[in-house]
Amino acid sequence: MGLSHQALYIATAGAYANQRKLEAITNNLANASTYGYKKNIVAFEGLYEPVSPITPLSPKLYFQLHNEQVSQRFVLFDETYIDFSQGALIETGNTFDLAINGDGFFAVMTEDGMKFTRAGNFTLSPEGYIITQQGHKVLGQKGEPIRVPFEEWSPEDVVITPDGGVFVGVRHGEERKSIFVDKIAVYSLPQDITITRKVGENLFDVQDMSYVEEAQNYEILQGFLESSNINPISEMVSIIEVQRAFEANSKIITTVDSTLATSIRDLGRV
């Protein structure tokens, strides 16, 4: 492989990798204020042995289709991982705002089946179900939607204990009786992107439910919400760094392309 071609391949791989990283950072910033959002982290793979070339549309495929030896300075986009670390807890005082302090995810029922979320900014449906902002019903320990089955109560009569127990205070005149409704299900998910993945609406899907277990080390805080685990300042700094790297790669591609065009034109005059 000629030096010009090698430089072109290196710059193209670098530009593609930086483009993917920029997409992840932009998405992180867009969700910095989304409750329970988990940060995307882009990982890169360095090539330290002869492999093959790629195109900007499919880097790894391009390298697999060629047998030319390439430089050890190649960097390829590998995968986008999820940072499952907990965000800060914000006190709101709202009855149906719930935060998981520790391990675990809330389970909700969607049109596509059971999904999971850390976003606890729930509300109550007209039918008395605890639901997400998108209308998905929150599930109890037995896998059924949690419904507050009483007519006469006020928000301060609903108490959710640290272990997820939902109690409603029913009033009969001056008398008030606390009645157990259900226990909020909290599950531990594998932190492996081949099993657990994002599916939109701040939800997670698990490819193999045999990996899902009841969470152990957690407490549910009523009147609190978990913020995203995004540091906006850090992400902005990363954007600047990635943009500079992308511009450098683009400049190399333009320069090499111009050099090759000149060489071909001069060769045709010989």
pLDDT band at 208 (very low <50, low <70, confident <90, very high): very high
53 has pLDDT over 60: no
Average per-residue pLDDT in the chain?
82
Q: What is residue 72's predicted lDDT score, i.e. its pLDDT?
A: 47
CA distance 78 to 113: 30
Least confident interval from 22-26, 147-151, 193-197, 198-202 = 147-151
pLDDT band at 57 (very low <50, low <70, confident <90, very high): very low
52 has pLDDT over 70: no
Q: Which long-range contacts (CB under 8 A, 24 or more apart) does 63-70 make?
A: 68/1, 69/1, 70/1, 70/6, 70/9, 70/10
Domain boundaries, the chain: 3-84+237-269, 89-226
Q: What is residue 141's predicted lDDT score, i.e. its pLDDT?
A: 93
The residues facing 101 across adjacent strands are 219
Mutual orientation of helices 3-30 and 232-269 as an angle, nearest 10°? 150
pLDDT band at 149 (very low <50, low <70, confident <90, very high): confident
In the block, residue with structure tokens 């992308």: 246
Q: What is the pLDDT of residues 100-122, one digit of tens each?
A: 999 999 999 999 999 999 999 99
